[in-house]
Structure 1
């Protein structure tokens, strides 16, 4: 704090009382004026002369009421009544002129005191509150500016305490929650959210720390402006929650902003489905070539072989009865007649399982935007995705490993959506490898500190340049145009992760490979 120059002049005609009065009031940072009960001024400290244009000569001619009138005429009119009440501070509604010519805002207090060497006195205290006044006006102006901005925005904006109690809600928030603003203040924000959104909201807030003060997720709501009992209109909101912390690291409060991304979700949904069809086309073409055609021969020929066996089986059984020691290929004919039908039936059943696998793969392309959430094991999701990508993985690396975390908690999500994330990440990793000796690893772990289950995909490929890394999740931004990349895989994966209240983190460096981490919140039990 910058110390101001205070004149050393003090006023005290009574030299006998001067030492005692100076000892009490000379060093105070506020103006002090003392007067006898008859109103004659007997003391004024240096701060009084700094704070006012008054001089010692002026005080010799002034009474206590005159001094009071310098600050507020209304106060001196009711001086006796004011002195009879309990001492209190009064804010002066106009600034006063200081000795320097500047203006100052003050507050005053008048009371009666008993002082050593001076007896009973009237006392006036004048406190310079200019800095406080300016600071408060600045805060008020910033508050008004903040409210003028947020009140005109269409986005839902509200503030709440760590116990979820709302402290502010803009007009859009009041309309969305269906309550007047005064009815919202003090109420829990969670009670105004649907159960599934409430769960995501709580999980998102729980991840906020001083190091990561902002978190976000996307959720589907019913549009309050377009309610239809038979066909409620969907409303997608992107919630962005920011925490504000004290210097000690303790949370102070939160601000939540919800932006309408319904149109964006509709566009993303179309793009996502198109990308999934592109990915599926690649997979299905490989499966059709490598599995479907050979399997068709099996399914056609296995029944013919079974018919042939039925035709020759009676003769072989007769030979086995006539000659118990007869054998074929070192196997007794009695065992042949017993096991060959089982082996042929196993071939038929195996080919049917392959046919079912191809059918399930085709189901992967179906639009599942309206499918419901379910409790999922992340290990099962990864296992299915690895099965779908096994051929691609084998073509690109001989060093593939999967480490499934033990005892992982369940997550709540859409199976095909989450499988697509893993498929996209594995496909990207395979394309980044330049030789089969480079490794590709997948790992699932439970990160207890953040309350999330992580899917980590690591490769030893070419890596990503620092200038490209921040943009790899942007739609249509691709570093593999020469390989047919569409620039949609990571963008879609990020969107799906957000849809599940999660995150997609990319870490990479040229020549050092890439690490992609999908963090999904643990389902609340």
Structure 2
């Protein structure tokens, strides 16, 4: 019993240790899975709450769009209102009705029903009542009549009579009293249908043009002219479904409640998970049965003048991103299985070792048989004693193998070692010593010089021979001439290594395919999965929209034996060229080699060359246009100056005539008025002609050929002033708050003046185009650092800002967010490369909806 335990002690230790470690690992995995499950539910719930919040805000912003329509147009009729709202109803499927209720029509709407709290709403009257179409004045637009657009079955808008119920009356009354956006509680979409869904109303007051910015109760109290209300009806079920359907089903139920309401009216909508077979709803606004036991996340959001609460509950089928929800059981059973297998392996290894010991007992009995066998083959067998000091046997073929006159009767070990070069002999002796020390076998390949046959290669193998007591009794082995195999192997290895080096280091993706488009050989791991049948389908490396065309072209290559190629674009904006080359054997195409080359850079260079050519053409054209404008402008300047002098000379004569004859008319004006008009007109003609001359000079300067010289001395302040004059019209178009803050003098920089102008124009134009309204500002400033080594130009705007996922790509060629308006994505890329050539840095700092700051740092000219 004791011997048995000692023999299998390792097995027992492994079994006990494996059991303990497996249980501990299973418990740890279970705890981690539960923690990750809760975190993933919180992330999923946050996504759904944010989605509902975003859709609600989009729906309420629709009322702001319609109010903007009334502010932008002097008058709106029924057809225009229907056209405008139809596009909104198509984009917002959860909006059932959009109405315009003028204040003149509001009393009838508000007085007929009674509000849900039992009060009769009151509409402001008196001096703030809107004027009708007939009472239209120059200061206030006429109030349009009541309009209403309702959704049809196809989603388009149709005219409809303005709806009226208690919730609508109450929300309009609250909007009139507060001057803010008001939202109603839950109401039926169609009260006549018992099974109809629920909706809410939202009312936005619209004030007169003088108070277009009004929207608060403080403005209403000061006597703002209230024109009416923009009212929207929102289907709660469709609103929540639109928000949630944008997300992947995860097994999360959403309960939307109105905290501003009481009783059953608190419940707005309950969204059941798409992964649940049941449909759980609660008319009381409470969570479904059993919901309190599940993980929950609740958030309260403002909706107009009300507050909603959104509660997300994880169902039993909540889907997380975990690979295995029962992974702790897998770890437990897997660990136990591995422990059992390891124990079985150790038991089997022990038994095999015992069998090997028994087998060594038969080696001595068969030694004579092996000796006879060694005498008859070309392989030279040899044997030494256990100490590797005496050669016990060497086959007679050794003399033929080495080609030397050796004495096989000698028992010296040097007989076997001296046939090799000294270094190779020492290597063989070291292998023998290593075999004696660790008992392992060895195989080495050594060269041997043979006079008549030249250099030969011998493979020397050695094996230990042990007695039943596990003691080394002798060392045996053999010599084998592998010269032909060695030479062939070396040649094949060199050829294969060269070919594989070329094949693997190719920047292209290369693979061969058969007639079924299955891959036979490739130079790198493929970026697509293996087909369902075990084959590697080559079309999966291509986008889905080009796979059919690729298969057709590949079939043509196999049929015609001609090379074919085409190009395609991926979703990541990269361009690839596919070349298909047939591999023929005799007259039959056996396979085809397909080469995928990334040609994005080539196409970018082509597009950039085209862009540069267009810009050069525009520069030449602007210079020509400037020249053509200069000629008539010179005539205007000369004639304006001449006419001004003539008028000054004629003015005393006309004044004397007035004193003698009395006042007289010139072009329907009195002499005094005409003299002022003519004097002012002459001055304006001259000033505007000079302004035209400045603009023309700027255009001619912009169109000047850029020879790419970087040794010009550039005055950054002068360049910025010229750019501001050149962009004056665009600045007036986008903003009323443009400022240029420059010191009296700045250190000079060395570079290309025209390229720096191009950079400043690109940056300022981008800042202007980012402004959402004219009241936002753009500020351009320049200053030198304290050491006077660098100049920093800052362009700060109050625009829409740049998203975090976009700001990392804005310097890449051909990346643009203004593709719909003709943007090429080359402006900032070219600007960045220009600043780098000047030894400067172009940096961006931006926050969404707050603005962007562009910093351009340039080194000043070093003083010798």
The TM-score normalised by the length of structure 1 is 0.39
Q: State the TM-score, normalized to the length of structure 2.
A: 0.25
Of structures 1 and 2, the one with the larger relative CO (CA 8 A, separation 6+) is 1
